[in-house]
Amino acid sequence: MRIEHIAIWSPDIERLKQFYIAYFGAISTDLYKNKKTGFTSYFLTFKEGARLEIMNKEEILPIKQLDKEQMGYCHLAMSVGKESEVIRLTNSLREDGYRIIGEPRTTGDGYFESVVADPDGNRIELTC
């Protein structure tokens, strides 16, 4: 058994799609649109086969406090291969104006990682 995909709601799936394509090499499906329900989505596929569905529907409620952690979805961990790539990508995202939540470091459980926010504020752990 394996997880088939992870799905997240977004107020702007075009912006989010471009972020994951630009920084993580995602390949996107064409836009799916259900005119009856107002639901739209893209499936993004990454090099190793993992998939992320980004979705929009007008009546979905926004996150209450973007800067506070909440119950439910916590983060997406993206393995970028090596420590130098964690550092490079973290710095690239910082230079491009994205929020860095945690600087590159070795964690207590042995991961070398940083934590960044995507355009919607979703946390991404960059690991190796």
What confidence tens digit (pLDDT) does each residue in 48-94 have? 889 999 999 988 877 666 666 666 678 899 999 999 999 999 999 99
Neighbours of 124 (CB within 10 A): 23
Which amino acid, 26?
A: A
pLDDT of 48 reads: 85
The tally of CA atoms less than 13 A away on the side-chain side of residue 124 is 25
Residue 45 has pLDDT above 80, yes or no: yes
pTM: 0.89
pLDDT of 3 reads: 85
